[in-house]
Structure 1
Amino acid sequence: MEAWMEQLPELAMAYGLKIVMALVIFIVGRWISKLLRKVVEAVMTKRHVEKTAVSFIGAMVSVLIMAVTLVAVLAQLGVQTASLVAVLGAAGLAVGLALQGSLSNFAAGVLLVVFRPCKAGDYVEAAGVAGVVEEISIFSTTLVTPDNKKIIAPNAAVMSSVIVNYSAKETRRVDLVIGVSYDADLRQTREVLAKTVEACEYVLKTPAPIIEVSQLADSSVNFVVRPWVNSGDYWKAHFQLMTNIKLALDEAGIGIPYPQLDLHVQQMPARSPAEHQ
């Protein structure tokens, strides 16, 4: 007992210092985890990332830092952490293989919220479907089609496909092809098309619309009509232009050809009774 009491100061000095250092490492690690979580959440909030994604990723960063901190604390206390790290690594590998699809969707969701190829409210075409983005969550993206169908696409499928974002730019070009008869006066036709485009309330003055002959087709002379409109007015401008161009061409007497088939019936000469035998 006396020998143990004599060694107590030495043990207190040896292990006390380790315990104090372990507490310092734990406190500093916890402070760093909280700080990094706030920084990550602030950056993502500034980029208008979805709140669910912000809190989830912030929590993941905090947990990762605390896991590293706990390993450092155990190592400081003299615990052999090599085997512990190996066990955790094996467990993580097993969980990763079991949740491979979910993890790929999670990784794709992180890329979507960080790089933002699209956001809520954009009209996009991705993963073989088209619609307005309603929500981008950690594992899936929700789209609403023009006929009001709700489509939930895995983030991995969205990120691995070509994403066409029709709302990314403020303006869009309406591309129309108008075919007229070969008998039509091309100068008159171009003038009619130009006046119709100019009269459309949705067409922008700048950039100037393009109206030119693009092709001498089999049965028509094809004009390209390419005005610029605000992205939100695309379909309204498209429908109005198609209607007004048809009415204007009819009023000007300019024909619009359409596929037709001429059938010629030839009467065969009557056969004599002898020829029937």
Structure 2
Amino acid sequence: MELDLETVEKIQERAIDFVFQYGPSLLGALITFVIGRYIINLLMKGLNKVFDKYEIDASLSTFLTSFSRALLFVLLFISIATQVGMELTSFIAILGAAGLAVGLALQGSLSNFAGGVLILIFKPFKVGDTIEAQGTLGAVESIDILYTKVRNFDNRVVTIPNGALANNSIVNLSQKPTRRVEMAIGVAYGTDLKKTRQVILSTLGKDERIHADPEPVVKFTSFGDSSLDLVVRCWADAGDLWPVYWDNMEALKEAFEANDIEIPFPQRDVNHYYPEGKK
């Protein structure tokens, strides 16, 4: 279909009118977006410097930075919308309706947001703590608006929703400065338990990482299938928990061998009954 000259002139006139009518507003909106984004980035850098200067908790600073950035961008878009000619009251009404629809669609995200606020208020853990939650054991790397990132000991990062963390049990392994080391040990039946206890306590006494108060204890717990079962409990700094456990398990094995204390292995007594008259 060919356009006649009159139609082309009308299209050109409308295009020119549109440019003159809306061009300045759209150009101003674009400039406002670029400048606003630059200012927001500057404000975020300044906010991070303030947090660093006053040594604000890393968990709180990460959360506040994410929340502030999102809030500033919302304000920027409101400013741009009013600049292109949209009335503020109409925009707020549209934003409210959209917010309701989005809120219904993102109930899980809102739950995660509320969970993040609760975590920051009650502080069951902070960045750097080692926690066990939702089947994950590792160190907390960050607490964001919606999610918490936990790094496993094999260097995998697990992202856990804040809502799940706030509404379920959390084991914080770093909150207390000391931890109890517990070792389960079995010795053969017929072993002198008093001598065994003395050997164990003497071995533990050589490790300076083990606290004298509370003092280590060795208790007989049960008659096992092939062993007399003992539990050894001592206290150490939280950071020394596993090194103390591994080192002393090896040291106790060597001490048992040096003192002729038998470490049992599973064994069974088999009795064979023959019918009468047969060997």
* Fold match (TM-score > 0.5): yes
Aligned 1:116-195 pairs, distance under 5 A: 116-195=123-202
Equivalent of residue 257 in structure 2, options 250, 261, 269: 250
Say if 1:49 and 1:120 are closer, same or farther in 2 by CA, change over 3 A. closer
Structure 2 unaligned regions, length at least 5: 1-46, 76-88
**Equivalences, count:** 221
Separation of aligned partners in 2, 1:179 and 1:125: 29
1:198 and 2:208 are equivalent in the alignment = no
- For 2:217, the equivalent position in structure 1 comes to 210
1:160-213 superposed Cα distances (whole Å, 9 cap, x missing partner): 221101111000000112111221111100000100111123211111112122
Separation of aligned partners in 2, 1:132 and 1:49: 13
Equivalent of residue 96 in structure 1, options 96, 100, 103: 103
Aligned 1:1-277 pairs, distance under 5 A: 46-57=56-67, 90-262=97-269
Separation of aligned partners in 2, 1:114 and 1:57: 15
Is contact 2:58–2:127 with CA below 8 Å preserved after alignment?
no
Over the aligned positions, Cα root-mean-square deviation in angstroms equals: 3.5
1:212-259 superposed Cα distances (whole Å, 9 cap, x missing partner): 222233332222211000000000001011111111111111112222
Query: Equivalent residue of 1:199, what SS?
Result: coil
Separation of aligned partners in 2, 1:49 and 1:182: 53
Q: Which amino acid aligns with 2:65?
A: S
Query: Equivalent residue of 2:112, what SS?
Result: helix
Say if 1:49 and 1:142 are closer, same or farther in 2 by CA, change over 3 A. closer
Instruction: Output the TM-score relative to the length of structure 1.
Output: 0.67
Query: Equivalent residue of 1:179, what SS?
Result: strand
Is contact 2:66–2:144 with CA below 8 Å preserved after alignment?
no
Instruction: Output the TM-score relative to the length of structure 2.
Output: 0.66
Separation of aligned partners in 1, 2:58 and 2:158: 23
Is contact 2:138–2:152 with CA below 8 Å preserved after alignment?
yes
Is contact 1:210–1:226 with CA below 8 Å preserved after alignment?
yes
Separation of aligned partners in 1, 2:62 and 2:226: 58
